[in-house]
């Protein structure tokens, strides 16, 4: 199983005035009859509802919050107007472990090309200024830091996974739709761009995969394990989901 960047879902929609608003219905794992509605910064509307809730009942609950959903979407759309693709030039803001760092590109023809985290800035030295080269060096740096960070986070949280007799193998691989996954033979794969997220978000993904080594499906046992090893994981997951569009912005 895996930790998707965007959850598998059932798509539904409703009209608010002249606007058709689409939302994703996902299963709410907790034994609670309430319908939870979340509007994410990337303008995804996620509705968590019990698996046995009727679609009409869910739709009615969403329509009652129609004005609030519309206003949230309007505000986030305004914010997205100011979000532009990365140009990989000095002054841009880039994330690492949940914090923002200013990018400083240094053209030094006789220096070694590379990336340094120095005095609150990500300094990239290149022989000749090129957005593609800066992007390549940054991506390589993120992958190196991801390998180090994820290995350490795995070691730190492994003590909570009492069902494992040994440390599972870890692989780093860029993925477009998943933060992490695990194979039937017990290998964990993590997305290097997850290293841009806060440590607790990284721990959530690692623990999610460790729980899948005990329970491959998203069953009651799986969610019970998640609650035991990381109380309050739902809020951490919500924060990671909300950062996805920023973390993956190129």
Quote the CA–CA distance of 68 and 47 in Å, as a whole number: 14
pLDDT digits (tens, 9 = 90+) for 123-144: 999 999 899 999 999 999 999 9
Quote the CA–CA distance of 186 and 91 in Å, as a whole number: 42
The mean predicted confidence, pLDDT, of the chain is 87
pLDDT digits (tens, 9 = 90+) for 177-222: 789 988 888 899 999 999 999 999 999 999 999 999 998 888 889 9
Closest CA to 239 of 208, 206, 204: 204
Q: Which residues contact 116 (CB under 8 A, 6 or more apart)?
A: 122, 123, 125
Closest CA to 79 of 120, 130, 35, 41: 41
pLDDT digits (tens, 9 = 90+) for 30-75: 656 788 998 887 788 989 888 888 899 999 999 999 999 999 888 8
The most confident of 8-17, 44-53, 159-168, by mean pLDDT: 159-168
Closest CA to 161 of 197, 203, 194, 191: 203
CATH code linked to domain 93-247: 3.30.2010.10
pLDDT > 90: what percent of the chain?
Answer: 52
pLDDT confidence band for 2 (50 / 70 / 90): low
Quote the CA–CA distance of 94 and 47 in Å, as a whole number: 30
Confidence (pLDDT) at 8: 47
**Annotated domain spans of the chain:** 2-80, 93-247
Place of tokens 């740096």: 141
């Amino acid at each position: 199983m895996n930790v998707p960047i965007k959850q598998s879902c059932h798509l539904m929609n409703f009209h608010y005035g002249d606007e058709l608003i689409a939302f994703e219905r996902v299963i709410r794992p907790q034994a609670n009859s309430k319908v939870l509605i979340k509007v994410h910064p990337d303008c995804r509307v996620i509705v968590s509802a019990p698996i046995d809730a009727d679609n009409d009942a869910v739709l009615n609950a969403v329509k009652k919050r129609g004005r609030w959903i519309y206003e949230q979407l309007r505000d986030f759309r305004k914010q997205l107007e100011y979000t532009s693709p990365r140009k990989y030039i000095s002054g841009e803001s880039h994330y690492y472990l949940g914090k923002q760092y200013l990018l400083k590109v240094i053209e030094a023809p006789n220096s070694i090309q590379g990336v340094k985290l120095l005095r609150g800035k990500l300094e990239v030295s290149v022989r000749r200024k090129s957005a593609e080269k800066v992007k390549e060096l940054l991506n390589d740096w993120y992958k190196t830091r991801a390998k180090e960070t994820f290995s350490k986070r795995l070691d730190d949280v492994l003590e909570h996974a009492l069902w494992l007799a040994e440390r599972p193998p870890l692989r780093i691989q860029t993925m477009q739709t998943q933060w992490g996954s695990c194979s039937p033979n017990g290998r964990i794969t993590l997305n290097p761009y997850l290293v841009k997220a806060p440590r607790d978000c990284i721990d959530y993904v690692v623990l999610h995969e460790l729980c899948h080594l005990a329970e491959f499906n998203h069953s009651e046992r799986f969610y019970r394990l998640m609650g035991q090893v990381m109380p309050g994981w739902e809020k951490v997951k919500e924060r990671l989901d909300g950062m996805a569009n920023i973390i993956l912005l190129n």
